[in-house]
Amino acid sequence: QVQLVESGGGSVQAGGSLRVSCAASGLTFSVINMGWFRQAPGKEREFVAAINWSGGTTYYGDSVKGRFTVSRDNAKNTVYLQMNSLKPEDTAVYYCTAGSSGAGLGYKAQFRSWGQGTQVTVFS
């Protein structure tokens, strides 16, 4: 059974940084794409970032490019999202998701397993 557990959310002032983590189990972590989405109150879930199996290729949503960095540690079955220069509009619940092996990172339908989410709040 796939299990994804996010951690590291919290509250931070605008301009600050946070790193969220996602520990995965029940899957062959080292061969699949991983991703991050977010959902703000009253809004649809939004793609944030994705990373391929090796960590050598990443892909970002337009709203976070240049500010967020996705990475992974296959030895620890963990994927990270480093968030810098945070803005109040980044406030959302951030979800970790597991994708497929070999799919393009922009193919969002591959992401079907989800964590419970972690709250990130950015105040001005």
Q: What is the Cα–Cα distance from 25 to 53, expressed in whole angstroms?
A: 15
Write the single-letter amino acid at 41: P
pLDDT in tens, the chain (124 residues): 999 999 999 999 999 999 999 999 999 999 999 999 999 999 999 999 999 999 999 999 999 999 999 999 999 999 999 999 999 999 999 999 999 998 999 999 999 999 999 999 999 9
The answer to whether residues 24 and 34 touch, using CB atoms and an 8 Å cutoff, is yes
Buried b (16+ CB within 10 A) or exposed e, 25-60: eebebeebbbbbbbeeeeeebebbbbbbbeeeeebb
